A and B are shown apart, each in its own frame.
Chain A
Amino acid sequence: MTPFAYHLARDPADALAALTAPGGNTPLGAASFLAGGTNLLDLMKENVARPMRLVDLNQLALARIEETPAGGLLLGALARNADTAYHPLVRSRYPLLSAAILAGASPQIRNMASNGGNLLQRTRCYYFYDTGTPCNKRSPGSGCAARGGLTRLHAILGASEHCIATHPSDMCVALAALEAVVHLRSARGERQLAFADFHRLPGDTPQHDNTMAADELITHIELPPARYAAHSAYLKLRDRASYAFALVSVAAALALDEGGRIVSARLALGGVAHKPWRQPEAEAVLAGKPPEAAHFAAAAAVLLAGARGESVNDFKIPMARRAIVRALEVAAAGTPGPACGEEER
């Protein structure tokens, strides 16, 4: 871990000023916001991140979860993942988000991790984390050691020759399906980004995970009015039953009419690409159809169009296809209640 100056920000303006303030040899970009710290501190210990100044956001009044006039929900960027997942309004209106958050990390980490930080967590690619190896994301231009290496966890969609890393978040998969909006603030003012436009594909600049500017701060994540509370499911496939990153995950949400037909569908995949993977064309396949396996399979085929493995991770393609179908089936049958033991049933 590199030495750094520490600034406890009073409010967003102060935080933004501290981020960009000159001082010593702390150039713009070498300062970093600190919220939960659950990913940043780990990266700093591994010398993957070497900020020279940390701006602690934890005193900022951005931890609230409140309803919007439009009938949606505004999640404070500093609300903790656990508080978000267990919030009564999130549970009742966005059970998909609640389930996705609770499928990630551990209770301790969810108690620390902020909503904003969850969006900014970095890939689990072995090579990104090991400074003894080349990595274009960590050290642009050094090459991608993952290609031709250990690719079991890597992307099957949207990868480039420069990077085949995946985004590790569960929460973001649900946010993608729910069409959340990210609220950003900088010295230049405020702006909003559709979730689909927030994360990006690696292309030839894999060092950038998202489209935020270096001087911007996430203030809120807005959820549009709930449409999918009754029929949603988050299915996460991983190497052990808990506390593991996804091999493949699916956020599936359906709105059904009174006759049981699908009015609209939302589908997003985790663990398969540099960002939560969503294709409106796949969702369109389901509109107006009855919730049946054949249509689910058709949607899966569209969502996975162009999927290509690195041989070791080829299994993710059928796994994702089946997971999409399963998740849609579960969603169609009704959002599962919070899981509890068989002995209680």
Chain B
Amino acid sequence: MNDLIQDLQSPVADAGTGFVRVGMPVSRVDGRAKVTGEARYAAEHPAHDLAYGVVVGSTIARGSIAGFRLREALAVPGVVEIITHENRPRMRSFDLFYKDMTAPAGAPFRPLYDGEIHFSGQPVALVVAETFEAARYAASLVAVDYLPQQHETNLMAHLARSHKPKPLKAGFSPPPDERGDAEAALLAAPVRIEAEYYSGVEHHNPLELFASTVIRGEDGHLTIYDKTQSSQNSRWYVSRVFGLGKDKVTVRNPYVGGAFGSGLRPQYQLPLAVMAALQLRRSVRVVLTRQQMFSLGHRPETLQRIKLGADHDGRLRAIVHEAVAETSRYEDYVEVVVNWSGQLYACDNVKLLYRLVALDQSSPMDMRAPGAAHGVHALEVAMDELAWALRLDPLELRLRNYAEQDQMKGLPFSSKALRDCYEQGARRFGWARRPLAPRSMRAGSELVGWGMATGTWDAMQMFARAGAVLHADGRLVVSSAATDIGTGTYTAMCTLAADALGLRLEQVMFQLGDSTLPVAPIEGGSSHVATVGSAVAGVCEKLRKRLFRMARRLDNSPFAKARFDEVEFAGGGLRLRRQPSVAMSVEEVMAAAGEARLEEKYLMLPKVLKQKQYLRATHSAVFCEVRVDEAFGTVRVTRVVSAVAAGRIISAKTARSQVSGAVVWGISQALHEETHADHRLGRFMNHNLAEYHVTVNADVGDIDVIFVDEDDRIVSAIGAKGVGEIGIVGVAAAVCNAIFHATGRRVRSTPMTPEKVMAPEGDVSVSAAL
């Protein structure tokens, strides 16, 4: 069955890696494939009959296509076909068929379905040619006549027509009803702050360009290498859109060059490549340009208003948090922005509001810690503002409002080691030495500031299946249609399996990234390890039991009288806990029992009833140091300590990289990233990596990651929660708060670019202490 898909690239740890235990810092098992260039990504799989597709994007934001002038483009030697809505192959019309597993409410965009234009950059044609260069040239010759209509892309100009969103999206819950009477409590509070926070559009910009290579078999079967966070979601989408049975399409994604949410939904290069392959009856590759990736979806521009009221001792009396975000005209993209504000701190009076404005944009998309990255940011900056209003240490303010339980239903947390995060993070950072007042520290020409913030994210678990085959030679192949977008899935799963059966890491192969493998959820929401890992643990437990039973039944078995809980799996086989010299290797057991292979399957279903009795979340405390040259508003983040409580850490090295990398994301959100739209054109204009700034190496100082002790068997059977998102949450707020501490100026919009941070005219001494 799911023994081994031979032509699927699956990495195995280097020989000599040896025995590992869960929680050890194990080197990435896919490391060798990645440092040698052997790992092949979506655009890198060859086919002998390959044609290249290049996308033509709309230059208008709203309207329709009057017609195409294709003569010149078709005349380019090597051009095979130009596919538009006028000549595309048959595809389903009903909206429902275009809804992928994570689609929000609404009617999904249907690429090349008709001549309606919904956003600037929308694909309007696919040029297919024998070479990439010919296709690219011909694409530049495609002339499109549009019938433009007035577009609206400016959130700030259309706040008045905001609407209550339709909440139909997996993982989304609308803001809860008001708790207590927030406005009245606010009026009665002796200390109040109120402020607006703005966050601009951001684009995921994974380094790998979005691509699909559709390899057509002689029987017409399509094997598709797609850049996606779920091979099964893409397979499902292709089947439904084109009416192709499950057996006609296989989608693979063994290596994914980053995604950060942009691969949660099938992107338009996928149906376009499939269309071309169906129409031309040959293999087709479509790779988007960096510019085109700015038309895929984005973190939505969001305006928030927060009001906090507190007693003189800092106890929160009222929290009001409102957010207005943009969405497209065709879907209600929703994310949890404000709900955390009712959860993170103890407060009896909380009012939360979340509304959307529909614009002529592509639908926004989940981007690393969707909602929390800017929602918790606003709350945590507001808390810092309140702390200063109270002349109270910002960490002390958080401790005085520590939430011991769920505020809405009184549920306990499944685990919450946030206090440990605060304590260990502060100690590592040296927070106790922080002067309370801003503008207290200086180094050379720079002001120095220390800031902190809390982070939180949901601890989720989906359902998944896993399969496992143990071979007579001691090799173990475990599989599930999971994904590794750089998160360390391969490594974590191999570690779990090797530990469970006491095998050397190099004896274990984990196969993921193929839609025919046992069902796994989309990799997203920091739930993959808790979900797939629990399935892997489950299938391994079945193998352990079977091996044990086999061993016990052997003639003259040393385990004849042992109970299962008296043996352990270590050192390449099983042995008695009390007498480790009584041992048999896996190979010996298999040989003695005459078994060539043992196969098990496992379905992991979350224990929903139990889980619902708890509030399940990850937490973090972020401390950061900035140096600000206030003459110019330039900010350097010199030091970050991130203390994270995320349950049991399965793979210490890759988990640490996840958090450290997310801190870099937080720095990027704080200082660098914003996509600028020209609303006259309805178009994003800095659509490249020279003008859309992401953090580079020189921007990053020391990053210190602490995992505090937590082990949560309610969230998952393996005790893990998940680390993908938590690392970014709160980082930008800590940076903002540190900038305030350095300069005494509060920057309430991200990114905090130099012009927002620099001292106003006449308010600065330029002369540096040289």
- Binary interface encoding of chain B residues 296-334 relative to chain A, with 1 for a CB under 8 A from any of its CBs, else 0: 000000000000000000000000000000000000000
Known: A127-B685, A129-B688. Is A149-B754 also a contact (CB below 8 A)?
A: no
Of A11-19, A83-91, A175-183, A317-325, the one with at least 4 CB within 8 A of chain B? A317-325
Known: A126-B691, A239-B693. Is A1-B699 also a contact (CB below 8 A)?
A: no
| B632 A322 Cβ-Cβ under 8 A | yes
Q: How many angstroms from the CA of A329 to the CA of B767 in the assembled complex?
A: 7
| Chain B residues with CB under 8 A of A243 | 696, 698
Known: A2-B140, A315-B758, A326-B631. Is A241-B636 also a contact (CB below 8 A)?
A: yes
| Chain A residues with CB under 8 A of B676 | 126, 150, 152
Q: How many angstroms from the CA of A323 to the CA of B693 in the assembled complex?
A: 22
- Binary interface encoding of chain B residues 627-641 relative to chain A, with 1 for a CB under 8 A from any of its CBs, else 0: 000011110100000
| Chain B residues with CB under 8 A of A145 | 678, 680-681
| Chain B residues with CB under 8 A of A318 | 758, 761
**Nearest CB of chain B from residue A330's CB, rounded to whole Å:** 7
B697 in contact (CB, < 8 A): yes
| Chain A residues with CB under 8 A of B690 | 124, 244-245
| A132 B631 Cβ-Cβ under 8 A | no
**Nearest CB of chain B from residue A286's CB, rounded to whole Å:** 16
| B767 A325 Cβ-Cβ under 8 A | yes
Q: How many angstroms from the CA of A129 to the CA of B690 in the assembled complex?
A: 12
| Chain A residues with CB under 8 A of B157 | none
| Chain A residues with CB under 8 A of B697 | 242
- Binary interface encoding of chain B residues 663-691 relative to chain A, with 1 for a CB under 8 A from any of its CBs, else 0: 00000000110001010110101111011
| Chain B residues with CB under 8 A of A3 | 137
| B766 A322 Cβ-Cβ under 8 A | yes
B764 in contact (CB, < 8 A): yes
| A148 B680 Cβ-Cβ under 8 A | yes
Residue of B nearest to A241 (CB): B698
B396 in contact (CB, < 8 A): no
Residue of A nearest to B674 (CB): A239
| B683 A133 Cβ-Cβ under 8 A | yes
B770 in contact (CB, < 8 A): yes
A333 in contact (CB, < 8 A): yes
Partner of B671, one of A129, A132, A240, A323: A240
Q: How many angstroms from the CA of A270 to the CA of B634 in the assembled complex?
A: 17
Q: How many angstroms from the CA of A63 to the CA of B445 in the assembled complex?
A: 40
B749 in contact (CB, < 8 A): no
For chain A, give the interface size range.
Answer: 35 or more
| B136 A1 Cβ-Cβ under 8 A | yes
Majority-rule SS of A interface residues: loop
User: A239, A243, A244 — which one has the most chain B CB atoms within 10 A of its CB?
Assistant: A239
A221 in contact (CB, < 8 A): no
- Binary interface encoding of chain A residues 290-301 relative to chain B, with 1 for a CB under 8 A from any of its CBs, else 0: 000100000000
| Chain B residues with CB under 8 A of A113 | none
User: A145, A322, A330, A333 — which one has the most chain B CB atoms within 10 A of its CB?
Assistant: A322
| A322 B754 Cβ-Cβ under 8 A | no
A130 in contact (CB, < 8 A): yes
Known: A241-B698, A318-B758, A322-B632. Is A333-B770 also a contact (CB below 8 A)?
A: yes
Residue of B nearest to A237 (CB): B632
A47 in contact (CB, < 8 A): yes
A:285-318 near B, CB below 8 Å: 293, 315, 318
**Nearest CB of chain B from residue A64's CB, rounded to whole Å:** 31
**Nearest CB of chain A from residue B629's CB, rounded to whole Å:** 9
| B699 A240 Cβ-Cβ under 8 A | yes
**Nearest CB of chain A from residue B628's CB, rounded to whole Å:** 13
Q: How many angstroms from the CA of A322 to the CA of B388 in the assembled complex?
A: 30
Residue of B nearest to A248 (CB): B632
A:1-33 near B, CB below 8 Å: 1-3
| Chain A residues with CB under 8 A of B1 | none
**Nearest CB of chain A from residue B75's CB, rounded to whole Å:** 12
Question: Can you list 20 pairs linking A and B with CB atoms under 8 Å apart?
Answer: A3-B137, A45-B136, A47-B140, A132-B683, A133-B685, A145-B678, A148-B680, A149-B678, A150-B678, A152-B755, A240-B696, A241-B698, A315-B758, A319-B754, A322-B631, A322-B764, A326-B445, A326-B631, A326-B767, A329-B768
Add 14 more A-B contacts to A124-B691, A315-B754 (CB < 8 A): A126-B678, A133-B59, A133-B685, A150-B686, A239-B693, A241-B636, A242-B697, A318-B758, A319-B754, A326-B632, A326-B766, A326-B768, A330-B768, A333-B770
- Chain A interface residues (CB < 8 Å from chain B): 1-3, 45, 47, 124, 126-127, 129-130, 132-133, 145, 148-150, 152-153, 237, 239-245, 247, 293, 315, 318-319, 322-323, 325-326, 329-330, 333
Q: Which 3 A-B pairs have the closest CB atoms?
A: A315-B755, A242-B698, A132-B59
